[in-house]
Structure 1
């Protein structure tokens, strides 16, 4: 099932893709006098369903639900109330090489915060008073569906609710001015995510998905999640060994080569992202995530 967080009058609602259109599951539940999640966070954090599509199927079985074209939907950030936004850096050998970074011995972790969450067709207001070097990082994002700790690699995917397209948007000047680069990752809107949560049953192997990025229609990244240094199972097991994971937590898994930071030209000659640019991130089977810069 492909699920979405929708912006509706009065707040948020849970949406689902059905025959190429979007149905408002929250509204359908009210129409059917059936319990339904209020939004994506409610579904993942409160329903505790290992297969989130089961709830959607219950709501759809009677039919007769109003739907809209996908292009007409107003998407919200895929989740809005995660406890944690965990990110992995330098998780593709070619990306580490293009930035002159040694291959890590363990997944390098950093965090974003809730203020950074953004949505499909959203805007990113560039913090130009503190930086001018803005960059894209298309990434596979894991959304957790269960509370867990000390998960084995063999069982790691069982705690996943689903997968999504993400953009670990970065301000490279802030990222590189100190050894702690979270400052370059934490600005408002710097974590676009969506438009869909594709449930784990629809993604049998997350480490075999084509990943691409376009800037103003020009292809910039074209890789595959099979090229990760630490695959999804390893990352989940590693993170869950450090801390307790809660339902609704999200994990950015790293970006492949092709970022502006890795261009083999002098830094002051690189064509950093600027206001007016459009960045489109795509992952096989998960759709496209678009943002505009202003």
Structure 2
């Protein structure tokens, strides 16, 4: 299934995309797409519905973040060998973890607003993993059983805030609008292998990032198993699993960063497309 949340910010309704690409409303069956209904049993109840009988949604509504009420947005840094190389970083021994404030999360096509003083706002396409079942001390072999599904995340980053202000990376990762998520949550049964997904990001129609999840240093299963040894993963939590090469920070001979009016377009095979226009906060 492809689960969505559509409508105005803060007033999104639950829906799904049927096999013909039509948006259908789920409001009569669930109040929202949140961790509370993402268990295997909850998703099975939705699968049992007669999709053809669900109301069609007309027009061109905004899509919100594909999961509501996200408790934790966890991000893995330097998780692609080719991206680590472009930034001159060593291959990490363990997954590098930082947190993105949930207030940064927006819809897949919402405007990305550079904060005041920003000179180095950058793009990062990432595979998002949505937890469906409470996970604590799980093994790598069973880790994917705890996944509800997958989505696209743009881990927008202000590099000066991230690297030049005293403190952790979170400062440069958590600015408002820096977490476009969606357009839809694709349930795990429709993703045969999360380590075989093509990824691409364009800026103003020019290809910047091209990659495949096969080059992850730590697989989705390894990441979930590792994090679950440290703290509990709750239904509706999201893990952004790292970015392939091609970020602005790594461009040679000089870094290239976003400017007002730029347009980012992101795709991951089977997971849809995002499109954001960049604005400046005044």
Report if TM-score (shorter chain) is over 0.5. Answer: yes
Distance 2:10 2:231 in 1: 35
Residues 179-206 of structure 1, C-alpha deviation per residue, up to 9 Å, x if partnerless? Answer: 6221110100111000010000000210
Please state whether the residue corresponding to 2:152 is helix, strand or coil.
Answer: strand
Name stretches of at least 5 consecutive residues in structure 1 with no aligned partner: 30-35
1:137 aligns with 2:124: yes
Number of residue pairs matched by the alignment: 277
Distance 2:14 2:145 in 1: 23
Please state whether the residue corresponding to 1:140 is helix, strand or coil.
Answer: strand
Per the alignment, residue 11 of structure 2 pairs with 11
User: Is this contact kept in 1: 2:39–2:235, CA < 8 A?
Assistant: no
1:288 aligns with 2:273: yes
Per the alignment, residue 248 of structure 1 pairs with 236
**Alignment counterpart, residue 59 of structure 1, candidates 32, 49, 59:** 49
Q: Which segment drifts farther, 177-186 or 167-176?
A: 177-186
User: Is this contact kept in 2: 1:281–1:288, CA < 8 A?
Assistant: yes
**Alignment counterpart, residue 92 of structure 2, candidates 104, 109, 124:** 104
Distance 2:234 2:241 in 1: 17
**Alignment counterpart, residue 152 of structure 1, candidates 122, 131, 139:** 139
User: Is this contact kept in 1: 2:38–2:236, CA < 8 A?
Assistant: no
**Aligned-pair distance for 1:166?**
0.6
Per the alignment, residue 186 of structure 2 pairs with 198
Distance 2:141 2:47 in 1: 28
Per the alignment, residue 227 of structure 1 pairs with 215
Per the alignment, residue 245 of structure 2 pairs with 257
**Aligned-pair distance for 1:228?**
0.2
Distance 1:107 1:278 in 2: 31
**Alignment counterpart, residue 37 of structure 1, candidates 20, 25, 30:** 30
Per the alignment, residue 57 of structure 2 pairs with 68
User: TM-score, with normalisation over the residues of structure 2?
Assistant: 0.93
Distance 2:9 2:180 in 1: 22
User: Is this contact kept in 2: 1:80–1:117, CA < 8 A?
Assistant: no
Please state whether the residue corresponding to 1:239 is helix, strand or coil.
Answer: helix
Per the alignment, residue 33 of structure 1 pairs with none
User: TM-score, with normalisation over the residues of structure 1?
Assistant: 0.90
Distance 1:118 1:254 in 2: 18
**Aligned-pair distance for 1:226?**
0.4
